Amino acid sequence: MKRGPKLTMTLEDLPDNWQEFLLNGMGYEGWQLQEAITFLARKMEKRGFNYKIHARFCRDYEEYKDIIDEGRMSSEAWWWTQIRMNIKNRDFNNTLAIFTLKACFGANDKPATPTPNGTTFGDVVEKAELMEKFRPKELAN
């Protein structure tokens, strides 16, 4: 069976106003990257859109990569805003929101302030705590 030429998807194949849809979804609803890719896949059900095509678009199309990067920043800002606005709301699940920030955006509890020798303040504190914990008793005094 002879196969025809391989069809390659380009930016022109994306739905009209795809930039606006992605930025609104990520910036005003807090979509994660997976939700943005799923949105494009649903809009393009005939052609199909998946993570492999997304990765190629990020590599090949500067405009697409810029929109995705801006969307990620907007999404992270949306999550921080939700936490700040709902910090005293008992019905809001702050733990889940913080977990989402950690899992999706790499948010960290410890500040990563580099010291002159290249380690971070968190590393220095952790090392000092471990040294104190395992210091021989005769050297403790």
Predicted confidence band at 4 (pLDDT cuts at 50, 70, 90)? Answer: very low
Give the pLDDT confidence score for residue 57 in this predicted structure: 93
For residues 46-60, b (16+ Cβ closer than 10 Å) or e, as one string?
Answer: eeebeeebbeebeee
Pairwise CA distance, residues 140 & 126, whole Å: 18
Give the pLDDT confidence score for residue 18 in this predicted structure: 92
> What is the rounded average pLDDT of the residues 119-133?
60
Tell me: pLDDT of 96 over 80. Answer: yes
Q: Which of residues 102 and 116 earns the better pLDDT score?
A: 102
**What residue ranges do the domains of the chain occupy?**
11-108, 110-141
